[in-house]
Amino acid sequence: MTSQASQELFAFDSYWEAPAASDPDSSRPTVRQTRCSSLLHSMNFGSTTEYTINQYRGCTHGCIYCYAPSLIHDERSWGGFVDVKINAASVLDRELSQAKKQVVFVSSASDPYQPVEARFKVTRKVLKVLSKHRFPVLLLTRSPLILRDLDLLQSLEWVRVGFSISSVSTKFYEPGVPSVEKRLEALARLRDRGITTWVSMAPIIPSLVLTDLDWLFQRLKDVHVSAVTLGLLRFNGYESSKQMFERRSGKTAEEVMENGRSVYQEITDMAKSHGLDTSGDSLSWSPAEEPESTPSLDIFAN
């Protein structure tokens, strides 16, 4: 497959939300099909280990505070490109056959349900592989496109589906992200189908709390999310992301992070006052939760 043949521009389906007209990078993103040699990577959190996978490189949501540009070190404009790892499912199938069972986080540096997923269905193929190998799955997205895969989500033995909502849920800061209302509607539908849901309230930008948090937390209570995790914006070690934020927002990282800890505590207290669990305990999986397997009749053939 030639580079020219593997790269294409196309009109996104109804899950695409056009960036604000004032966004200088608002043109249709470039989509390129690529192949990967590995997909599954370990993340260590003290005594806890998880895997992470990213079946896409780049993200057309184009959030101007995103940490991913500092991880992938790509010279292309963030939000203007996405590489589709078209062989992700087959690579994951091979890797999981030899991997110790741990939670697989989908995804850490891209949205698994960004608009290109409607066409390429890589995440759907990946979920089939995860179901086949009976691995626990932790999902995080900002797109209602995930509702397309309700059948696969219900087939997983352990799954937690999360939506990310920041303190700046506007088109200026999140050019291609579906509205908060659409995300809340998706959370309600997932819960109605018996799927445990959660919300990542991140990033919180202390001097830029533009989202109506009191309204939001009440809505999250109404749709019965299992947990709300909170995270402050941070740029330590993410210099490329810091530069992107300052260039696109016209604000310095220092000024928007003023009084960070006190604002974080205020928001945490507000979430708790609405009866929301901020501990994240419901997002933890242990091997003890794995259902016992039925003994095979093959043991009687010996």
Look at residue 288 in the predicted model and tell me its pLDDT: 74
In total, the chain counts a number of residues equal to: 302
Are the C-beta atoms of residues 159 and 195 closer than 8 Å to each other? yes
Residues with Cβ within 8 Å of residue 286, at least 6 apart in sequence: none
Residue 197 lies in a domain: yes
Distance CA 123, CA 53 (A): 10
Residue 298 lies in a domain: no
Look at residue 297 in the predicted model and tell me its pLDDT: 35
The stretches in the chain having pLDDT less than 50 are: 1-25, 292-302
Tell which residue, 44, 82, 43, has the closest CA to residue 60.
82
Question: Which tens digit of pLDDT belongs to each residue from 48-77?
Answer: 679 999 999 999 999 999 999 999 999 999
Residue 140 lies in a domain: yes
Look at residue 46 in the predicted model and tell me its pLDDT: 58
Are the C-beta atoms of residues 116 and 60 closer than 8 Å to each other? yes
Q: With H, G, I as helix, E, B as strand and everything else as coil, classify residue 164.
A: strand
Residue 296 lies in a domain: no
Q: Is the peptide bond before 203 cis (omega within 30 degrees of 0)?
A: yes
Place of tokens 């189908």: 193
Please state the domain count of the chain: 1
- Alpha-carbon torsion (283, 71, 167, 124), positive or negative: negative
Residue 267 lies in a domain: yes
Q: Specify the pTM.
A: 0.86
Residue 19 lies in a domain: no
Which range of residues forms the domain containing residue 158? Answer: 31-283
**CATH code: domain of residue 73:** 3.80.30.30
Look at residue 294 in the predicted model and tell me its pLDDT: 41
Residue 230 lies in a domain: yes
Q: With H, G, I as helix, E, B as strand and everything else as coil, classify residue 138.
A: strand
Strand order across the beta sheet in which 159-165 lies = 41-45, 48-53, 104-106, 137-141, 159-165, 196-204, 227-232
Look at residue 35 in the predicted model and tell me its pLDDT: 98
Residue 192 lies in a domain: yes
